[in-house]
A and B are shown apart, each in its own frame.
Chain A
Amino acid sequence: MGTKRTLEVELSTTGLSPDGKPQRVPLVVGGDGGAVALEAPPAMEPEFEGEHMLINIGPQHPATHGVLRLVLELDGETVVRCIPHVGYLHCGFEKIGEYRQYNQIVPWTDREDYLNSIGNNCAFALGAERIFGIEITERCKVLRVIAMELSRIASHLVWLGTTCIDIGAFTPFLWSFQERENIYNLLEGWVGARLTTSATRVGGMAADIPDKWLEGLQGFIRTFPKTIDECERMLTKNAIWVGRTVGLGVMSPVEAVNYGLSGPMVRASGVAYDVRKDFPYLDYETYDFDVPVGSAGDVYDRFLVRVEEMRQSIRILDQAVKRLPDGPVNVDDVRIILPPKSKATSEMESMIHHFKNVMEGPRPPAGECYVAVESPKGEKGYYMVSDGTSKPSRWRIRPPSFVNLSAIPKMVEGHLLSDVIAINASIDIVMGEIDR
């Protein structure tokens, strides 16, 4: 079934005039852009009976974004069936979590969705605080919003860059990774680490932001929209980009919800489901931002949704910087938060608390909770079951990429082999999170 859409495309690109000056040169002879009706190729009828071919992609393949393996049945160049295999990166995070105190699990959350590590730290801390039954301070809430939105932008930038590489554009990859470098520099100045941040503790953060850090963030907020504009100028109306993405991997709203898709995947299909809006946390309902929604549910819409989400994240960051209150970051509870090092070495009481917190760990009341946040990939949930000891008796990650990827057989069937790469890239998978 081909989907028809009318889109504005530029059928020209920047080239050089005979005297060496930059000018627009047409990409297609006789065309200079305008509204073009695009139609995805319909599923092809077999022209003659032939044997189907078995093609294996991965697990070691640059376009599978990690160690995904797809076994494809091809009729000519058309995919008849797709059988995905995952698990090559399985590390048993959930099992290890049952043997660790809550604060000791935070470093594991860095390593599942490693493009969104500080966002995972915050999400895990939210879940742990719910199960401990504590309320964090206002400053901590705003700092976590800043951290989560920064990591959302960083994750979307990696997605944009790698997807461009997959589809055949190189320049936006360099631009987006340059901006991601700025975000990692900011995170390095805050928590000392770039990728594996381990930035949160139950009841607060590992560190408050240093002096003048907000100025660096404001500089980023000021300059970053220009990069999005540049990337959009390279891609949004680019005839090649549009031709490689429109009409691929279409999921209807009903299908998207039924398959449990979340994040940009479900929003591109026209379902405005965003955990920040519908099941808010960290006071997200008090921030003014929009939820971008697609209308055709194809790869192109997923691109548009993610680009717009980056702009919205900048809006949230701007509001968060303006409202960041003074005050303590950590809750005032010696049973949960470690005392300052200077006190732990000079006061008896603080030393005892320090010792108890490190050796035994804080103990939440028995019970269970499921806390979901909107990660860049979708609804990321942490389900924790406590039996009253300092270690969870079950720690479960609800991985958004895992559920999103499970729809790939449905999305690629009937498309060409080269489109499998584009569809797979559009899901934004991180194998560390899928295999855990």
Chain B
Amino acid sequence: MSPSFTIVHPGTGSNATPVTPKNVPVSGGPVSPTAEAVGAQFPGVISRTVVSRGETTIIVDGARVHDVILWLHDDAQQSYDYLSDVTAVEHRDLSLPLEVVWHLRSLRYRRFIRVKVLIAKGAPLEVPSVMDIYKGADWLERECYDMFGVKFAGHPDLRRILMWEQYKEGFPLRKDFPLRGRFSRSEQLKNALAANPEARYSMEELSIADAFEELPLDMRRRLSEGEKVGE
């Protein structure tokens, strides 16, 4: 009668009791077995394996990263079913490549791995989306696109999320973006007021109300004054 869920307990795949890591070395240390498994499954995909602060990072080929993450998610011996984070890193040394970072967790084996793709200077900022594997990647990828301009190929709805859709100044977390923004404070204020993101509806949203007369009065007024709606 009552369709209650079966309780899922993490850590069923290992007998080890998790403990707080102590005296973690700054670099070096044991490599996660996942790195070797990925290397065996996808020969030549891992260009480098780095262990920093006890956490293993595998740097993989950008064209194959979707396959690697899909395998990590599906394979019963890996079972990386939890996507913690998707983000990007740009270094102060601008000759270094921009990095896109996935933090994956395996709840069954209580493992953690960081998958990285390096995008060389001048190359298009594009990596495959993992939203078909993890639904939780939706907003994380949108945020990464918003802040860094990294395009996630295959994401169904890659829009800005924290900045408004008409934001013109670029990608705030890139190192060439000045801390105070690109324009003067007065220009920024003028642009922000003109954008009026609180009252803006995208075309998708407007299609819900299919007649112009259905729109709120103030919106009809603004639209008739020539204000454009979102993309």
Taking Cβ atoms with an 8 Å cutoff, the residues of A that contact B are 3-6, 37, 51-54, 56, 59-60, 69, 71, 73, 81, 83, 85-88, 90, 92, 94-96, 99, 130-131, 133, 135, 252-253, 255, 257-261, 269-273, 277-285, 293, 295-297, 365, 367-370, 372, 379, 381, 383, 385, 387, 389, 393-394, 396, 398, 402-403, 405-407, 410, 435-436
With A4-B1, A387-B93 known, 12 other A-B pairs at CB within 8 A are A6-B1, A52-B209, A53-B209, A83-B205, A90-B162, A282-B20, A368-B55, A370-B103, A383-B85, A383-B87, A389-B92, A398-B85
Residues of A contacting B162 with CB < 8 Å? Answer: 86-87, 90, 435-436
Residue count of chain B within 8 Å CB distance of chain A? 73
Contacts across chains A and B counted by CB atoms under 8 Å: 200
Given A285-B17, A285-B18, answer yes or no on A403-B173 (Cβ-Cβ < 8 Å).
no
Given A99-B179, A133-B25, answer yes or no on A253-B8 (Cβ-Cβ < 8 Å).
yes
Contact of B9 among A252, A258, A272, A394 (CB under 8 A): A272
Given A83-B204, A95-B179, A367-B26, answer yes or no on A273-B214 (Cβ-Cβ < 8 Å).
no
Residues of A contacting B172 with CB < 8 Å? Answer: 92, 95
Inter-subunit contact A52/B85 (CB<8 Å): no
- In the assembled complex, the Cα of A404 lies from the Cα of B135 at a distance in Å of 11
Inter-subunit contact B201/A130 (CB<8 Å): no
Inter-subunit contact A381/B52 (CB<8 Å): no
- In the assembled complex, the Cα of A278 lies from the Cα of B81 at a distance in Å of 14
Residues of A contacting B145 with CB < 8 Å? Answer: none
Contact of B27 among A4, A95, A281, A365 (CB under 8 A): A365
Tell me if B151 counts as interface (CB < 8 A to partner A): no
- B171-206, CB < 8 A from A: 172-173, 177, 179, 197-198, 201-202, 204-206
**What would 23 A/B residue contacts be, using CB atoms closer than 8 Å?**
A6-B1, A51-B210, A51-B214, A54-B206, A73-B208, A83-B202, A88-B197, A95-B173, A130-B24, A258-B135, A259-B135, A260-B83, A272-B8, A278-B11, A278-B110, A367-B52, A387-B91, A387-B92, A393-B91, A394-B90, A402-B143, A406-B136, A410-B135
- In the assembled complex, the Cα of A4 lies from the Cα of B3 at a distance in Å of 7
Shortest CB–CB separation between residue A188 and chain B, in angstroms?
30
- In the assembled complex, the Cα of A436 lies from the Cα of B90 at a distance in Å of 19
Residues of B contacting A258 with CB < 8 Å? Answer: 81, 134-136
Contact with A along B119-152 (1 / 0, CB 8 A): 0000000000000001111111001000100000
Tell me if B6 counts as interface (CB < 8 A to partner A): yes
Inter-subunit contact A272/B26 (CB<8 Å): no
- In the assembled complex, the Cα of A54 lies from the Cα of B7 at a distance in Å of 38
Shortest CB–CB separation between residue B21 and chain A, in angstroms?
8
Residues of B contacting A131 with CB < 8 Å? Answer: 53
Residues of B contacting A379 with CB < 8 Å? Answer: 84
Inter-subunit contact B85/A370 (CB<8 Å): yes
Inter-subunit contact B18/A278 (CB<8 Å): yes
Inter-subunit contact A368/B53 (CB<8 Å): yes
Shortest CB–CB separation between residue A238 and chain B, in angstroms?
20
Contact with A along B3-33 (1 / 0, CB 8 A): 1111111110000011110111111000000
- In the assembled complex, the Cα of A255 lies from the Cα of B136 at a distance in Å of 10
- In the assembled complex, the Cα of A352 lies from the Cα of B57 at a distance in Å of 38
Residues of A contacting B205 with CB < 8 Å? Answer: 54, 71, 83
Tell me if B161 counts as interface (CB < 8 A to partner A): yes
- Nearest-neighbor residue (CB-CB) of A393 within chain B: B92
Residues of B contacting A282 with CB < 8 Å? Answer: 20
Given A270-B5, A369-B53, A398-B85, answer yes or no on A257-B18 (Cβ-Cβ < 8 Å).
no
Inter-subunit contact B103/A398 (CB<8 Å): yes
Residues of B contacting A95 with CB < 8 Å? Answer: 172-173, 177, 179
Inter-subunit contact A285/B19 (CB<8 Å): yes
Inter-subunit contact A278/B107 (CB<8 Å): yes
Inter-subunit contact A260/B84 (CB<8 Å): yes
Inter-subunit contact A37/B22 (CB<8 Å): no
Shortest CB–CB separation between residue A40 and chain B, in angstroms?
12
Q: Most A CB atoms within 10 A — which of B112, B136, B173?
A: B136
Residues of A contacting B8 with CB < 8 Å? Answer: 253, 257, 270-273
- In the assembled complex, the Cα of A394 lies from the Cα of B175 at a distance in Å of 10
- In the assembled complex, the Cα of A52 lies from the Cα of B204 at a distance in Å of 13
- In the assembled complex, the Cα of A72 lies from the Cα of B184 at a distance in Å of 36
Shortest CB–CB separation between residue A131 and chain B, in angstroms?
7
Tell me if B89 counts as interface (CB < 8 A to partner A): yes
- In the assembled complex, the Cα of A53 lies from the Cα of B202 at a distance in Å of 15
- Nearest-neighbor residue (CB-CB) of B5 within chain A: A270
Tell me if B2 counts as interface (CB < 8 A to partner A): yes
- In the assembled complex, the Cα of A59 lies from the Cα of B93 at a distance in Å of 39
- Nearest-neighbor residue (CB-CB) of B181 within chain A: A92
- In the assembled complex, the Cα of A69 lies from the Cα of B27 at a distance in Å of 44
Tell me if B70 counts as interface (CB < 8 A to partner A): no
Inter-subunit contact B7/A270 (CB<8 Å): yes
Inter-subunit contact A284/B209 (CB<8 Å): no
Tell me if B82 counts as interface (CB < 8 A to partner A): yes
Shortest CB–CB separation between residue A317 and chain B, in angstroms?
19
- In the assembled complex, the Cα of A6 lies from the Cα of B10 at a distance in Å of 28
Tell me if B158 counts as interface (CB < 8 A to partner A): no
